[in-house]
Amino acid sequence: MPFPELLIDGYRSFRSGRLAREQDRYRELAERGQKPEIMVVGCCDSRVSPEVIFDARPGELFVVRNVANIVPPYAPDGQAHGVSAALEFAVAALKVKHIVVLGHAHCGGVRAFAEDAEPLSPGDFIGKWMRLMAPAVEKAGPVGALSPAQYLARLEQANVVNSLDNLMTFPRLSKLIERGQVAIHGAYFGVAAGELLIRDERTGEFVPADGTSPFKR
Ligand SMILES: [Zn+2]
C-alpha cells in the first residue's frame, strides 16, 4: 500500500500554510534546540491532540501520549518505561515548569476498564496497561445514582488524578514539585462541546477553564 494520501495532502497544506508562516521559528528551534516549558501527558485518541486543543506552536509543548493518558508509578526495575523516560527527559534535561495530565470524555480505554469488557483489542498489552488505572476506581467512589455516562466521566477524571498521584512517586520530580519549581495540573477535554475543564487543586473539582461555561458532566 502506498503512503497515505491524507498525509501527503496534509503535508502540502502544512508546507504552504503553517511552515511558510513559521519558517523562521522552525529554523531558530533547529539551531537553538527546543525549550518547551510545558509537558502534556495525553491519550492516543485521535480526537484529543494537545497541540490542537491548546493551539500550540512548534516548540511549545513536550507531549507524551498513551492509551488513557496514564502515568505509571515510578518503577526502577530495569525494564524499559516509555512514559518515565519522557518524564525524565522533560524534567531533568528540558526543565519543564508545568506537567499537565489531559484526560478526555468518551475515552475508550477508561470505558473498557469500567465495563470490565474485553480489552480494546485482542493482544498482549492493553489489558495489563489498563490495570494501571485500578486505583482510579477507588478514587471515583461508588456509582450510586450516577448514570453510566456520568460515572464514566467521573472515572475519566479520577484517572487523571491517579496519574497526578503517580507523578509524585518519582523522587526527583516530587522534590521539584514540593519546592515549587514544577507544577502539576489535571485537565479534561469534553470532546463533543470542545469544553476544557481544569482541576481545582483546593477542591479537587474539575471546573471550566474559562470560568463561564455551563458544561457539566
Ligand atoms: Zn482516551
Instruction: Tell me the CA–centroid distance for residue 163 and ligand 1, in Å.
Output: 13
Distance 28 CA to ligand 1 centre (A): 34
CA torsion sign for 187, 40, 166, 190 is positive
Place of cell 518515565: 84
CA–CA gap between residue 54 and residue 187 (Å, rounded):
12
CA of 94 from ligand 1 middle (Å) equals 26
CA distance 190 to 210: 14
Provide CB contacts within 8 A for 66, sequence distance 6+. 41, 43, 44, 82, 83, 129
Q: Is 38 helix (H, G, I), strand (E, B) or coil?
A: strand
Q: How far is the CA of 149 from the centre of ligand 1 (A)?
A: 15
CA-to-CA dists, residue 114 to 41, 108, 142, angstroms = 21, 10, 12
* Sign of the dihedral defined by the CA atoms of residues 193, 158, 122, 72, in that order: positive
- Note the pLDDT of residue 217: 42
26 alpha carbon – ligand 1 mean position (Å): 30
Q: Report how far Cα 18 is from the mean position of its chain's Cα atoms.
A: 24
Q: CB within 5 A of ion ligand 1: which residues? A: 43, 45, 107
Find the 43 Cα to ligand 1 centroid distance in Å: 5
- Whether the CB-CB separation of 50 and 40 falls below 8 Å is answered with yes
- For 47-97, the pLDDT digits (tens) are 999 999 999 999 999 999 999 999 999 999 999 999 999 999 999 999 999
Ligand 1 centroid – CA 42 distance (Å): 8
pLDDT of residue 184: 98
Distance (Å) from CA 186 to ligand 1 centroid:
14
The span from the CA of 106 to the CA of 40, in Å, is 19
Question: What is the arithmetic mean of pLDDT over 88-112?
Answer: 96
- Quick one: CA torsion of 173, 178, 181, 184, rounded to 10 degrees? 70
Strands 183-190 and 195-199: antiparallel
Residue 106 Cα to ligand 1 midpoint, Å, equals 7
Sheet with 61-66, strands from edge to edge, namely 61-66, 38-43, 98-104, 183-190, 195-199, 206-208
Q: With 70 as the cut, is the pLDDT of residue 186 above it?
A: yes
The Å distance, Cα 156 to ligand 1 centre, comes to 9
Measured in angstroms, how far is the CA atom of residue 56 from the centroid of ligand 1? 20
Q: Which of 119, 194, 116, 211 is nearest to 155 (CA)?
A: 116
**Dist. CA 110 → ligand 1 center (Å):** 7
pLDDT digits (tens, 9 = 90+) for 115-166: 876 666 667 788 889 999 999 999 999 999 999 999 999 999 999 999 999 9
Q: What distance in angstroms lies between residue 104's CA and the mean position of ligand 1's atoms?
A: 6
